Chain A
């Protein structure tokens, strides 16, 4: 084909005109939310039971419910979309660990109290309900699941070390950190090369999660240098000193193989980690058990559904989310997607009481249920993540590189002070 110069120019002209036109039309036709009867629901893979979502689509036909699974870093994608004020989902999932960072902008979401959320309040765990509520009382997150932390342990390894191996007995006899550490020492002496836990980070994080305070309080004061954090730090350091933690990093291939061979026979982790465990060490089927945590209840993760300001039919959206998250559907969420219910009524449902063959036929809800009800209520600050990081970094140095703990604590506090200053936290 011969292309003349003029033809080329015309083609270029047409292209740029199209680009300009496209830009212009795009800028005035982008909807701030959904269009027509469409109602978009954003969540992440495994964030809701897919079967329940599919059923909601056929159940609510007044709107065209469009579930979208967003991959990758969920919060950054949601923030970007909301900041761009275009194609904002009507209903969106909010991850528990991100909740605090949405709170300063609670006005971007519909206050669920205005839609009558309060009448459902007594069906949900009170601490979970409070977590979805901003300090000014505005309720933005409707509870999906919770993450009660428990101890997972290998019954066969505990048996060989002469430790209790029955879940009730473990929960009762390893009920304090002191007893837990004693058990760890005994384990190491009886079975050399075996460590109770992979690293000291999980102890630190669990102990902080057991407290009613975290790193920054409601008045923007840094409280990461107070007793509830120093206690957690000291316990983590003591665990290392007494030689009950390995220097493996959890999640690495080394850690997985040590878990499978019983070299690291215990984990402190949330209910949802049961699914990860089953995937990581399928050969261990029947050997693991679940018991209550030493030192009290703790929560890790668990998410919410929220209605954004862009939603044009909040009543309809509210009806959908309350149906998705009612006690019956939460039971299904647990069976389909290992989402631990935030509705205590679900604990009694028959499907929840099925013995779990991976856990040697244990009825795990008997541990998870009480663990979920014991969780302390802590204020989560939007600055917690930034101010926890230096402490975690220094603990990692102690764990992996053998840094002197006193020096590490000093360095962590020095960094925290600097970051606090920068963020306007006093």
Chain B
């Protein structure tokens, strides 16, 4: 829209046409600006103002109802030295990596298989997408049973292989594996569908040529499919980074217990406490809205760093 050539105003407004050179693009195209204004107005109201307010809030102490007290940069100073926040960043990144790498790999394999001629293609597409539209809370409850120590499916498999039980939801690494596998299960199908769309844009001549040259399926996959799919892979990586860094419901539901402790604690050693979970704990358990706002800006910075890395990757591709 922005690059479209300037549209001459409709005929019955002669005075405007008479003005020499107009007075800036805003005046000349006010109707167009007005037409797209609902988005900006709504964004201003529900996006920009809350963002600005959270910045203001992070410089104060506030319990949510009473008077705000000016706190300067003390919330940020406390944040920098807050070992639990750093721990939460670590947890988030580890869980994200443990979920995303297998997820994208399996998704690609699924997509390649779907792309080759199989029967019931539409059924498979539907089935792969189903986990993604299932409620996270419901999924987390099911995964809680799968990873339960004595009666869970995961341990039944381990025992079937002659291995020892693992107290999945009661050990730091077990918790991370459980959360990561939940996320993998939920998002693999979504990514597979996107890869499938990408695969269908690759001309079949390339594959034919490769086959003539004597390339096997593995070679074709790594020499043709992966390079041509690069923009699509980057897209899925960006989307999974965004969702991964914001993971909240998965650990919250998976690790909530009936005892009186916080539902945002993330299990033993806070091993499943992601950044957003920690933000919730500070804000809503402790009524520390000012500090909560500071944490959310900390999260923003980390997401921004990842966004820049992603952007760089995409830019490099353009060259």
Binding site for B on A (CB under 8 A): 5-6, 8-9, 11-13, 15-16, 19-20, 23, 73, 75-76, 79-80, 82-83, 97, 101-102, 104-105, 108, 199, 201-202, 205, 247-255, 257-258, 276, 300, 382, 385-386, 389, 392-393, 396-397, 399-401, 415, 418, 422-424
CA distance A16 to B41 in the complex (A): 8
Do A12 and B287 touch (CB < 8 A)?
no
In the bound complex, do residue B148 and residue A254 qualify as a contact, i.e. CB atoms below 8 Å apart? Answer: yes
- Closest chain-B Cβ to A378's Cβ sits at a distance in Å of 15
CB distance from B243 to the nearest CB of A (A): 22
In chain B, what residue has the closest Cβ to A280?
B258
B225 close to chain A: CB less than 8 A? no
Decide if B218 is an interface residue (CB 8 Å cutoff): no
Check if A108 sits within 8 Å of B65, measured CB to CB: yes
Those of B272-315 within 8 Å (CB) of chain A:
281, 284-288, 291
Residues of chain A contacted by B152 (CB below 8 angstroms): 253
Structural contact, A12 and B41, CB atoms closer than 8 A: no
Given contacts A201-B260, A389-B265, 10 further A-B contacts (CB under 8 A): A6-B10, A12-B34, A13-B34, A75-B284, A82-B65, A202-B259, A247-B170, A251-B259, A400-B171, A424-B61
Contact of A19 among B42, B78, B257, B291 (CB under 8 A): B42
With beta carbons under 8 angstroms apart, the residue of B34, B149, B150, B291 that contacts A16 is B34
**Does B115 interact with chain A (Cβ within 8 Å)?**
no
Contact A257 B150 (CB under 8 A): yes
Is A251 a contact partner of B258 (Cβ separation < 8 A)? yes
Can you list 12 A-B contacts with CB-CB less than 8 angstroms, sorted by A residue number?
A9-B34, A12-B36, A19-B38, A199-B259, A201-B259, A201-B261, A252-B169, A254-B150, A385-B287, A389-B262, A393-B265, A401-B268
How far does the alpha carbon of A108 sit from the alpha carbon of B172 in the complex, in Å?
Answer: 43
| CB-defined contacts of B270 to chain A, threshold 8 Å | 393
**Chain A, Cβ-Cβ closest to B257:** A251
Establish whether residues B287 and A250, one from each chain, have CB atoms under 8 Å apart when the complex forms: no
Closest to A108 in B: B65
A254 close to B149 (CB less than 8 A): yes
B154 to chain A, nearest CB (A): 12
What's the nearest-Cβ distance from chain B to residue A342, in Å? 20
The reply to whether A253 and B144 contact each other, CB–CB distance below 8 Å, is: yes
Whether a CB of chain A sits under 8 angstroms from the CB of B223 is no
Option from A6, A15, A253, A424 in Cβ contact (under 8 Å) with B38? A15
Q: Contact at A79–B35, with CB atoms within 8 Å? A: no
Digit string of B149-166 for contact with A (CB within 8 Å is 1, else 0)?
111100000000000000
Flag whether B167 is at the interface (Cβ < 8 A). Answer: yes
- Closest A-chain residue to B259, C-beta based? A250
Interface residues of B in 163-197 (CB under 8 A from A): 167, 169-172
Partner of A400, one of B259, B260, B268, B281: B268
Q: How far is the CA of A422 from the CA of B84 in the complex (A)?
A: 14
Query: Complex Cα distance A104/B288, Å?
Result: 13
**Which A residues lie within 8 Å of B286 (CB)?**
385-386, 389
Q: Closest residue to A390 on the B side, CB-wise?
A: B84
Give chain A nearest CB distance to B252 CB in angstroms: 11
Cβ–Cβ < 8 Å partners of A401 in chain B: 171-172, 268-269
Bound state CA distance, A31 and B90, in angstroms?
45
The residue of chain A having its C-beta at the shortest distance from the C-beta of B268 within the complex is A400
Residue of B63, B66, B84, B257 with most partner-chain A CB within 10 A: B257
Instruction: Give the shortest distance, in Å, between A416 (CB) and chain B (any CB).
Output: 12
Would you give the shortest CB distance from A28 to chain B, in whole angstroms? 15
B41: which A residues are within 8 A, CB to CB?
A: 16, 19-20, 23
The reply to whether A105 and B35 contact each other, CB–CB distance below 8 Å, is no
A359 CA to B269 CA, complexed, in Å:
37
Q: Is B32 an interface residue (CB 8 A)?
A: yes
CB-nearest residue of chain B to A202:
B259
Name B260's contact: one of A205, A254, A382, A396 (CB within 8 Å).
A205
**Taking the nearest CB of chain B, how far is it from the CB of A73, in angstroms?**
6
B37 at the interface (CB under 8 A from A): yes
**Which residues of A are found within 8 Å of B260, using beta-carbon distances?**
97, 201, 205, 300
Please report the C-alpha to C-alpha distance between residue A80 and residue B256 in the assembled complex, in whole angstroms. 24
A82-B65, A254-B151, A257-B151 known; A396 vs B42 contact (CB < 8 Å): no
With A6-B10, A19-B41, A76-B284 in contact, is A13–B167 under 8 Å at CB?
Answer: no
A300 to chain B, nearest CB (A): 7
Interchain CB contact (< 8 A) of B31 among A9, A19, A102, A105: A9
Residue in contact with B256 in the complex, picked from A6, A76, A251, A399, CB distance below 8 Å: A251
CA distance A62 to B38 in the complex (A): 43
Most chain B beta-carbon neighbours within 10 Å: one of A75, A386, A397 = A386
Give every chain B residue within 8 A of A415 (Cβ-Cβ).
Answer: 84
Q: How far is the CB of A67 from chain B (nearest CB, A)?
A: 24
